[in-house]
């Protein structure tokens, strides 16, 4: 069966989103059909509808069955192949974004443990048809992103229950969540990395390391990215001046804001607005 894969056309505002979907697909594989060994440049979640196959990671082959799936992580060497007697049919969804890795980790999927088993009554079996249904509708990109979030939410729901944390020893994820809330509520103010660290009760270097581990960027870079994404959204409002936008994302100096925006987005705020 030919590969049915759909690639999405991204809007400019989606290029640096916390999470975005790039493509999705479905394939009924021929006996022995394989991919790899090789690398991919996106996160790709596969779900097995029927049949069997094997997935190789860390030099070990694991046989998989319907109701299971696997996640491909960017730049991780992988290899997978359909069974010779009962080849699998699977669907997949490819995505990127600074939240992608941490959401997968919450679903107990990591490069070291990329295999999952879907819980009953989840959307894994239907996400391909759901995405086909909404992609040509008005607001289809938003509906598609909602389906991606639902898939990841069901992955988290399917994950084994984590060991309980004591109140005296908060989880590392809780520090990340507190930091994100602090940034979301205060990015429009003059906020420093030290302010964030003090708000969550951690050393700034340690907290920045947690962000690097979860999102692949330092806390400083995350804060800058967040402000610039928000600025890009605000620039769509023609009633706001460049100075208004700068102040709205925590910059008192419009010149410094313009410099940072151009470095981050590749265009000055004025040019970016002209391209909209």
- Cβ neighbors of 167 (< 8 A, separation 6 or more) are none
pLDDT over 50 at 13, yes or no: no
53-57/43-50 β-pairing: unpaired
Which has the minimum average pLDDT: 14-18, 29-33, 121-125, 239-243? 14-18
pLDDT for the residue numbered 261: 92
In a domain, 198, yes or no: yes
Number of Cβ within 10 Å of residue 236's Cβ equals 12
d(CA 131, CA 129): 5
CA 225 to chain centre: 15
CATH number, domain containing residue 20: 2.60.120.280
Long-range contacts of 201-204 (CB under 8 A, 24+ apart): 202/175
pLDDT over 90 at 156, yes or no: no
Give the relative orientation of helices 193-200 and 204-215 as an angle to the nearest 10 degrees: 90
In a domain, 232, yes or no: yes
Let me know: does 54 contact 46? Beta carbons within 8 Å: no
Q: How large is the C-alpha radius of gyration of the chain?
A: 21
The number of folded domains in the chain is: 2
Same domain? For 22 and 154 the reply is yes
Number of Cβ within 10 Å of residue 100's Cβ equals 23
Q: Which residue has 């806390």 as its token pair? A: 219
Confidence of residue 6 (pLDDT cuts 50, 70, 90): low
In a domain, 167, yes or no: no
pLDDT over 70 at 146, yes or no: yes
Name the average pLDDT for the chain.
85
CA 117 to chain centre: 20
What is the extent of the structural domain holding 208?
172-275
Confidence of residue 165 (pLDDT cuts 50, 70, 90): very low
In a domain, 192, yes or no: yes
Same domain? For 81 and 179 the reply is no
Torsion 179-229-268-245 (CA) sign = negative
pLDDT for the residue numbered 161: 58
**Domain termination site, one of 126, 158, 190:** 158
Same domain? For 192 and 68 the reply is no
- Cβ neighbors of 12 (< 8 A, separation 6 or more) are 232, 275, 276
Which has the minimum average pLDDT: 39-48, 165-174, 206-215? 165-174
pLDDT digits (tens, 9 = 90+) for 82-120: 999 999 999 999 999 888 888 898 888 888 889 999 887
pLDDT over 50 at 167, yes or no: no
The pair phi, psi for residue 274, each rounded to 5°, is -65, -30
């Amino acid at each position: 069966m030919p590969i049915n894969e759909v690639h999405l056309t991204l809007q400019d505002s989606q290029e640096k989103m916390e999470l975005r979907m790039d493509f999705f697909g479905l394939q009924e594989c021929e006996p022995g059909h394989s991919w790899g060994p090789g690398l991919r440049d996106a996160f790709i979640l596969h779900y097995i509808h029927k049949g069997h196959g094997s997935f190789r990671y860390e030099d070990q082959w694991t046989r998989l069955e319907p109701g299971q799936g696997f996640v491909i992580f960017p730049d991780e060497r992988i290899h997978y192949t359909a069974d010779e007697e009962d080849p699998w049919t699977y669907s997949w969804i490819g995505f990127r974004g600074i939240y992608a890795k941490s959401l997968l980790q919450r679903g107990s999927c990591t490069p070291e443990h990329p295999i999952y088993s879907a819980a009953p009554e989840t959307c894994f079996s239907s996400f391909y048809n759901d995405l086909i249904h909404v992609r040509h509708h008005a607001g289809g990109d938003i509906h598609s992103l909602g389906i991606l979030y639902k898939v990841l939410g069901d992955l988290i729901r399917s994950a084994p229950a984590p060991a309980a944390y004591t109140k005296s020893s908060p989880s590392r994820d809780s520090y990340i969540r507190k930091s994100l809330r602090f940034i979301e509520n205060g990015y429009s103010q003059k906020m420093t990395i030290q302010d964030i660290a003090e708000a969550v009760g951690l050393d700034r270097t340690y907290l920045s390391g947690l962000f690097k581990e979860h999102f692949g960027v330092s806390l400083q870079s995350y804060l800058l990215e967040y402000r610039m994404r928000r600025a890009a959204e605000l620039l769509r409002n023609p009633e706001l001046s460049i100075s208004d936008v700068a102040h709205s994302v925590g910059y008192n100096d419009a010149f410094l804001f313009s410099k940072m925006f151009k470095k981050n987005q590749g265009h000055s705020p004025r040019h970016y607005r002209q391209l909209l």
